[in-house]
Structure 1
């Protein structure tokens, strides 16, 4: 049977923001005297909350960052995103197929609501997802803890074991697995850690056009 609910991560799955956000983060970390590239940041921090990222950067640099540092990162990201964020190629067709099959879907993200509404709004996807957005800002723990996916399932009225998650990060795959949900890992980006995603329990796929077939045939 197909899943009763599909939970999508946001960045890198619905909207193509990961490269922009990781380049911004790399510039900010480099300004702290610890040179990093966008792919470096993607490998180390992708899928985590900025509060978790801050703790890890403090470990790397030996510096204590101000309490509002995550908000500074978010503000810089939002300024970049306002210029335009494209939807992931093929995602509109995926949502169309789920609608046609009568399978509900929602979003479970580490990002805050303000960011999701900015990026999804810029991409044109927000009208399809408004009212079905769930953020780690409402949870005690961010990914790789399962909290946001369990919250999404509860709010949408579905048992975790009947849900499927679509992710593009190792922490996200781990979170979905910890929630008892099957997870498809989108690995179109060459910087994705495919081995780690597989080890975490992800079912890898490279083309978004393949996802409807995978979802609709999920046992």
Structure 2
């Protein structure tokens, strides 16, 4: 691991327990868009086109900054407020279906996603997905990219379907409950500020996938990487520190 990614000496109280040497990491939870599947740009471009249709002169790039990680219902509200136009009552459902259809053919994996997932599994850690995307959307994305060969259906959880969208912590707490582990034994891989906030509220550690020169939330429980290949290295080091600490505590 590069020096700027090496874990500091972590103690409970200062950092979430799951990444401390005296803690125990038992579950890894992944966001979907921007972490496993590179579909956010496609989705926000669809929303930009809708915004322009109703009179909001919004570029695809601006829409990506504004809408990334957001709920479709709230995005519809933003467009309505900005344009003064009334959107159809089922606008979010219409957009959801449009995105699902698009993802069946156009979704691509984030660089290194499949290798990263297999490396995490090889570490002996169970994995789950917690995303604001609908279950239908994730099914389309994972089938299109082949990640359905790695991710089991019962380990994929939708904040939209459960009406628990981020930054609420519910979707991550739900994933931990389904695994039967406390939130303090979990770590989340995210790319959005809303997802980081959800992890923080859930009491989980979080790794943010984002270029290191880009701004990020300030929180001691947040670690940073700029490529997925670095994530298993962080997990490996956490597990090594915890195993060594456990061995030191064993009676001679």
Give TM-score, length-normalised by structure 2. 0.79
In 2: Cα distance, 1:197 partner to 1:123 partner:
30
Give CA deviations for 1:20-57 in whole Å, capped at 9, x if unaligned. Answer: 11111111111110011222222222112212222222
Partner of 1:176: 199
Match of 1:36 among 46, 52, 58: 58
Give CA deviations for 1:92-122 in whole Å, capped at 9, x if unaligned. Answer: 1111111211100010000110000000110
For residues 34-183 of structure 1, the aligned pairs below 5 Å read: 34-129=56-151, 130-183=153-206
Deviation for aligned residue 1:189: 10
Deviation for aligned residue 1:82: 2.0
Partner of 2:236: 216
Contact 2:166 2:198 in 1 (8 A): yes
| Secondary structure of 1:25 counterpart | helix
Contact 1:173 1:200 in 2 (8 A): no
Give TM-score, length-normalised by structure 1. 0.90
Contact 1:17 1:85 in 2 (8 A): yes
Count of paired positions: 216
Partner of 1:21: 43
Deviation for aligned residue 1:86: 1.5
Deviation for aligned residue 1:154: 0.6
Deviation for aligned residue 1:201: 5.7
Partner of 1:8: 30
**Which protein is bigger by CA-based radius of gyration?**
2
In 1: Cα distance, 2:100 partner to 2:191 partner:
21
Contact 1:170 1:200 in 2 (8 A): no
Deviation for aligned residue 1:139: 3.4
Deviation larger for 16-25 or 130-139:
130-139
* Runs of 5+ unmatched residues, structure 2: 1-20, 243-252
In 1: Cα distance, 2:72 partner to 2:219 partner:
24
Deviation for aligned residue 1:140: 4.1
Residues 195 and 175 from structure 1, CA distance in 2 versus in 1: closer, same or farther, beyond 3 angstroms? Answer: same
Deviation larger for 29-38 or 197-206:
197-206
Contact 2:55 2:83 in 1 (8 A): yes
In 2: Cα distance, 1:4 partner to 1:103 partner:
6
